Structure 1
Amino acid sequence: QGTLFSYLCMSYPRKRQRSESPDAQCSTPVHGSGEAVLDPLFHSHRSKELVSLWESRELCDVDVVVEGTRFQAHRVVLAAGSPHFRAMFTKNFSESKAREVELHEITAEGFQGVLSFLYSGEVSLRDSTAELVLLAADRCEVLGLVNLCCSFLLDRITWRNCLHYWSLAEQVVCLKLKRKARLVALKHFEELYHTGLLLDLDAAKMSRIIKSKKLRASNEQVVLEGLVTWLQHDFESRRHVAESMLRLVRLPRLAENTLRQLLNTTFLRDCSTLDVLIADVQKYQTMTEEDQRNYSEVWARKRWNECGWLYAVGGSDGLYHLDSVERYEAVEDVWYPVAPMRTARRNCGVGVLNGHLYAVGGRNENKQVMDNIERYDSKEDRWERVEHPMQTARYFLAVGVIKNKLYIVGGVDKRNSSLQTAECYDAESGKWSPVASMSERRYGCGAGVLDGKLYVVGGTVEKNGDYLETVERYDSETDKWESVAPMSTSRYCCGVAVMKGKLYAVGGVDKRYNKLSSVESFDPTTGAWSPEPPMLTARYNCGVEEAAGNLYVVGGRDEKNRALCTVECFDGQTHQWRTVSQMSTVRSSGAVAVLPPMR
């Protein structure tokens, strides 16, 4: 079945109401002495008349021949809608006065679509003809029709045809079609490899695929195998790109025996630089993280399967407690809704155990403080209630995971009293057990695990009390707490996360009730806090987590106490902040965590 795409060439003025004066339509001055009177039906009537003239072959003054098929048309219509024909008929070309012109490199069926569009603004597209019409429209420079055809084809891209549409998009310079086709190829690399569809891909496109952080594969060995198979398919013509292409594979991620097998690959043995490549990999593996980034940006760059997905869980939209959950894919900068929790939760805590996301405590929509927990299975996209509740119901709590155990710290209980107690959940036994209490009560604090120790940062002792700059560190081996260097400022309801061996404290509210955009980091090797570049927006009650080597700050409230849906990213390499895609809903007092991506 054909799908009718209408390209509206004009914005029609609204019809004059009966009660309006005729002068109400006369608003455009003409040469300073009068006003233009516009007939709102002029363009639609004129289009119908043009189609009638074309269909009846009246007043046609040019024959366009395509693949032996003769199309009668009007020069003025062709020239008005096509820069190609306008140049042909108005410049000093032989066709300018010829009764018959012939077009090459397009099909008669495709040109029929172009003519239909030029006369009526409409074209009937089918799966079997859309590409023919697109190529003809591109040849005749009918940009509106090119865009319509590309939009039609966008929804028809699959992994089986994505490489073809990628090439087609480059030919007609359609960026949206090209981007979509390339993304599909990256998402389905393994299918393209195993079915042999990659084998005839040109080196430029293969290079873009292998280099991209968006490439989806179960592991880097699959990427290497796909590239080696591609090289072997036509090695004589691809020999000159072999080393440069192999350097796009994240070779340092591969096992030592895999690298030895690469070195012994028969058709690659005469590549004189292969030994150098392997030596560079071994050198890279001994470097510090910073030196690695300077040595090879490509090798240091994480793939899609290494980045993880960021989940924003529960919270409040300013009016209601939320059960909704959203997932952020950093590589694609896109948020997706996932299954909601069984219970709306505000000021809950979250942690990841055995690849599952746990939501702990919080307050429900009835403002009841909860002791229950639930668990999210990303494979099934489903939440389930965990049978074992906490020993103490609490919200405004802090959560950290050490050695696959969930630690719950501080918060506020059912009597609205702040807590200094802590407890630990063992998912294997399903049991909660008390652990050592902090040195002081605190809630609205943040937590992060660094070098196997739990840090609890800021917060407050009681409502309307002094906000804290103090920090405590818990050692699960000794079951003891100790104080570490305080932050430079007090922070209540700040976000806390760990990135690249440092603990970050982000935003919050200070003792003077200033909403903060400031950020500072704690280095355990020096035992000191250092200032970091401030956020673009002051915010508190936000969620903070590391994903793909960057720090993400999600939602919260701004200086005017407005709940936010915006998200900021602190680049772990450039140390600069930028905005990224926002969530679908405003979300304050929620929680965030990262799970491994699912194919």
Structure 2
Amino acid sequence: MTGMASPEKASTSKKKSDRKCATKEEYRQLSSIMGVMNNLRKQSTLCDVTLVVQGKHFHAHRVVLAAASHFFSLMFTTRMMESMSHEVELRSAEPEIIELLIEFIYTARISVNSSNVLSLLDAANQYQIEPVKKMCVEFLKGQVDATNCLGISSLADCMDCPELKAAAEDFVQLHFTEVYKLDEFLQLDVTQLTRILHQDKLTVRAEAQIYDAAVRWLKYDVCNRQQYMVEVLGCVRFPLVSKTFLSKTVQAEPLIQDNPECLKMVIGGMRYHLLSLEDREDLGESSRPRRKKHDYRIALFGGSQPQSCRYFNPKDSSWTDIRCPFEKRRDATAVFWDNVVYILGGSQLFPIKRMDCYNVLKDSWYSKLGPPTPRDSLAACASQGKIYTSGGSEVGNSALDLFECYDTRTESWQVKTSMLMARFSHGSVEANGLIYVCGGTVGNNVSGRVLNNCEVYDPNTQQWTGFSGIL
């Protein structure tokens, strides 16, 4: 039944609406005022302070700088010498970065990229311009990988960025088996190393990998690091190491044979395997497990079923629905990379241009720009931080030979060399750095022909080669 709002309710509703309009109007007015202020700054009109950076001069208004930065507020509103000086020198700053920050203060616009993010973060932290600092943190969170996660973690400590620190540490924990094999891991000091190795949430296939990481760090500079052997190997939970590995590999390690304390730890681990289950439980701390490397789950995204997002857990053969805020799509494809499921293509009457992303760790959804050519029945696979989409068909049209690449670090798309053959409803997989595209259909949904061939793309040469005879 349709009803009519009472005068009181209508009046309340109108007031709320008026308030929203007023807020928008206030925002437009403020933007207009700041635009005028920025023009005055560019013309050096009514400016009452000049920031000097490495000989370059930047004119500005004290009140604007003070409103945007607690650093400048203290400088200009207290008895500091700078509060009376027309020129203020900013030491240890870069002219290009200060120019970007001043522009942001007046316009709320700034471009953060891989070339300037570290300098911007340093300056935004020093001059206490929190919005820019937050943007830099968000950018760096998207850049974390195995080669830089430890460095970003240290940077976050120095810059007082707990959110960035948490993101870097989460990556270290999830990808420890990759991280400890890289050079950055070998440069850690003993405090940083032991802090990482002690963590319960390190994702490993077996405790032997913790041992391998510890020994690798020790041997990198054995002369200077031998003094830390007991402290470092004390992070290894030897009761969790297999009896065979302990006897054949660990006990035979010269570093351990020459150290009675370390040898005692290994023998303790071997004795653990001889204990009863009840006695093992009493040990508690030393036998506490790490997070296992693989917890396989099979997920379904899209399709024509009422519940379009769910996952299957092989451990208990159960299905779990995943909350999805976006509309359903059919004939889409999904690919998994770095704990994010990317859902691409598909249609709902019309091709969907958006790429929906699901972070499995945070249980959160967000959207990014989809493939340059919206289509359905495409295939996708991931390799080295890039997502490759192939083929597909626009609604009601024939197969396409399109091949595109999305870089998850720069969040940008590139059109690559077209496939040798147009195809849709096919498969795609990465193996040993190569992209394999197999099977599918050529033509269209009405008069299509099933394919029994395969073609391979080499990202290094950006060339395709083909072979046939799929059974």
> Would you say the 8 A contact 2:239–2:272 is kept in 1?
yes
Structure 1 counterpart of 2:219: 232
**Cα distance in 2, alignment partners of residues 54 and 293 from structure 1:** 71
Structure 1 counterpart of 2:167: 180
> Cα deviation per residue 1:56-97 (whole Å; 9 max; x = unaligned)?
222222222334433222221111111111112222322222
> Cα deviation per residue 1:280-325 (whole Å; 9 max; x = unaligned)?
32343344556545534353223322x73466999xxxxx776864
**Cα distance in 2, alignment partners of residues 45 and 218 from structure 1:** 58
Pick 1 or 2: higher relative contact order, CA cutoff 8 A, min separation 6.
Answer: 1
Alignment length (residue pairs): 308
Residue 113 of structure 1 aligns to which amino acid in structure 2? L
List gaps (5 residues or longer) in structure 2.
Answer: 1-12, 323-335, 337-360, 366-471
Structure 2 counterpart of 1:101: 88
**Cα distance in 2, alignment partners of residues 581 and 200 from structure 1:** 31
Structure 2 counterpart of 1:412: none
**Cα distance in 1, alignment partners of residues 282 and 299 from structure 2:** 33
**Cα distance in 1, alignment partners of residues 64 and 33 from structure 2:** 12
Structure 2 length-normalised TM: 0.55
> Does residue 60 of structure 2 align to residue 73 of structure 1?
yes
Matches within 5 A, 1:29-178: 39=26, 41-178=28-165
**In 2 relative to 1, CA 151–243 (structure 1 residues): closer, same or farther, beyond 3 Å?**
same
> Cα deviation per residue 1:26-59 (whole Å; 9 max; x = unaligned)?
89xxxxxxxx9x8453211111112112222222
Structure 2 counterpart of 1:282: 270
Quote the sequence identity (%). Answer: 26
Structure 1 counterpart of 2:357: none
Structure 1 counterpart of 2:456: none
> Cα deviation per residue 1:71-130 (whole Å; 9 max; x = unaligned)?
222221111111111112222322222233333344333222221221111111221012
Structure 2 counterpart of 1:246: 233
3-state SS of the aligned residue for 1:51? helix
| Structure with greater Cα Rg | 1
Residue 111 of structure 2 aligns to which amino acid in structure 1? S
Structural RMSD (CA)? 4.1
> Would you say the 8 A contact 2:46–2:61 is kept in 1?
yes
> Would you say the 8 A contact 1:110–1:134 is kept in 2?
no
| 321-330 vs 289-298, which moves further | 321-330
Residue 96 of structure 1 aligns to which amino acid in structure 2? S
**In 2 relative to 1, CA 23–270 (structure 1 residues): closer, same or farther, beyond 3 Å?**
closer
Structure 1 length-normalised TM: 0.44
The Cα of 1:148 is off from its aligned counterpart by 1.0
3-state SS of the aligned residue for 1:50? helix
Residue 154 of structure 1 aligns to which amino acid in structure 2? K
3-state SS of the aligned residue for 2:180? helix
The Cα of 1:136 is off from its aligned counterpart by 0.6
**Cα distance in 2, alignment partners of residues 292 and 160 from structure 1:** 38
Structure 1 counterpart of 2:347: none
**In 2 relative to 1, CA 216–67 (structure 1 residues): closer, same or farther, beyond 3 Å?**
farther
> Would you say the 8 A contact 1:186–1:214 is kept in 2?
yes
The Cα of 1:326 is off from its aligned counterpart by 0.9
> Would you say the 8 A contact 2:256–2:263 is kept in 1?
no
**Cα distance in 1, alignment partners of residues 72 and 280 from structure 2:** 56
The Cα of 1:264 is off from its aligned counterpart by 4.6
**In 2 relative to 1, CA 40–276 (structure 1 residues): closer, same or farther, beyond 3 Å?**
closer
> Does residue 311 of structure 2 align to residue 326 of structure 1?
yes
3-state SS of the aligned residue for 2:57? strand
**Cα distance in 2, alignment partners of residues 235 and 138 from structure 1:** 38
**Cα distance in 2, alignment partners of residues 329 and 44 from structure 1:** 55
Structure 2 counterpart of 1:297: 285
> Cα deviation per residue 1:206-248 (whole Å; 9 max; x = unaligned)?
3343233443444433332222111222345544543233232
3-state SS of the aligned residue for 2:184? coil
**In 2 relative to 1, CA 294–105 (structure 1 residues): closer, same or farther, beyond 3 Å?**
farther
**Cα distance in 2, alignment partners of residues 248 and 83 from structure 1:** 43
> Does residue 281 of structure 2 align to residue 308 of structure 1?
no
